[in-house]
Amino acid sequence: MTEPFDAVDVIRAQRDGTGVPEDALRWMVDAYTREYVTDAQMAAFAMAVLLNGMGREDIRVLTDAMIASGQRMSFAGLGKRTVDKHSTGGVGDKITLPLAPLVASFGVAVPQLSGRGLGHTGGTLDKLESIPGWRAALTGDELMAQLAGVGAAICAAGPGLAPADKRLYALRDVTGTVEAIPLIASSIMSKKIAEGTSALVLDVKVGTGAFMRDLDRARELARTMVALGSDSGVATVAVITDMNTPLGRAVGNANEVRESVEVLAGGGPADVVELTVTLAREMLALAGQPDADVAAALHDGRAMDVWRAMIRAQDGDPDAALPTPRESHTVTADAAGVVARMDAWDFGVAAWRLGAGRARPQDAVVHAAGIELHVKPGDTVTGGQPLYTLAADDASRFARALDALEGAVEIGANAPALPPLVHERITA
């Protein structure tokens, strides 16, 4: 078959900013999925996108082409409204775990197709696999049945969903093009639109522990994704939230599951509860329930009931003991004062080095590894008071984790001016 376009011409047009014709851009994605366009050529195209950006229409076409590379799901036969949530990733971000059952407790279907961690950011599936027996893979029929019955499912996306993105995502990770906003937006939204949900809430993180460290860039990413969702008929809202400090007091896998269960039991750290409730209200508003009493569902046991049913439906045991570490190491304060800063990036890297994360997709995670924070910014401490505890199965990992945490905690004389957890809300 004679190809209608040449990859080099597409790369040059993107590089020179002369504009890539829509049919050529669609061909580029399709040809890359078919492996006609090489990794080297797509890497050059991705770098040109990073350097020159893309207009809204080009991003829409790119996203649509990535959707078209695979299958599209539909939840039309459920008889329930569907709403999903996506986070751009952070440290200690376990919000999906209590959020999905909480929203489902109001009769809304939550098809939460999630991923694994890579680098300093944790993965929802890695956390849940701490639970004995729990499985991430569901067939399409199993997913539909679980949504119809339990109301919520947190599972892995099937290989047929936006396969072009799977190839391009891996390529971006090794070519220095992860930060390109058109590529981030099309990657996230191609999967979410193909998933078939009717509404979507985006949690766009900003800060040292996020991919977007600058509020203006986080705002640009949020607006781009909201536009993509709206253009595709998916009711979409974005919330920009702070990721300068780890969320909650647990960073890892099994310990984050424990903290999530605390939230579902009506307790848990204030910041995790606040963000869970905020996102649940946004999701339920899109599902037609703007006045839902979200906080009550955390306290009266409804959300916990859905959590237990959801875990059992995926062969997990909600009552089983979670993994515990073989080794621990506690770091204490050198002097008295007020905690001014706890850098999310540093704690994410440290947890990764302890074994809670992975450097390569094929690496295994240590579910018991991670960090427990004993204090948060704004807390008053005395000399010798525990600040955080490192956990690992191998004590030899502590040295490199401690290297990552050099300077991560700042203790001052006065209480810091803490940023809000929620910075902005962005709609179409």
Contact 70, 160 (CB under 8 A): yes
**What SS3 class is residue 49?**
helix
The CA R_g of the chain, rounded to the nearest whole Å, is 22
User: Which helix (H) or strand (E) is 309 found in, with range?
Assistant: helix 302-313
How far apart, in whole angstroms, are the C-alpha atoms of residue 367 and residue 321?
12
The CB density around residue 360, as the number of other CB atoms within 10 Å, is 8
- C-alpha distance from residue 201 to each of 85, 307, 401 (Å): 5, 20, 34
Measure CA 217 to chain center. Answer: 17
How far apart, in whole angstroms, are the C-alpha atoms of residue 38 and residue 43?
9
Q: Which residues are catalytic?
A: 86, 165, 172, 187, 191
Contact 161, 195 (CB under 8 A): yes
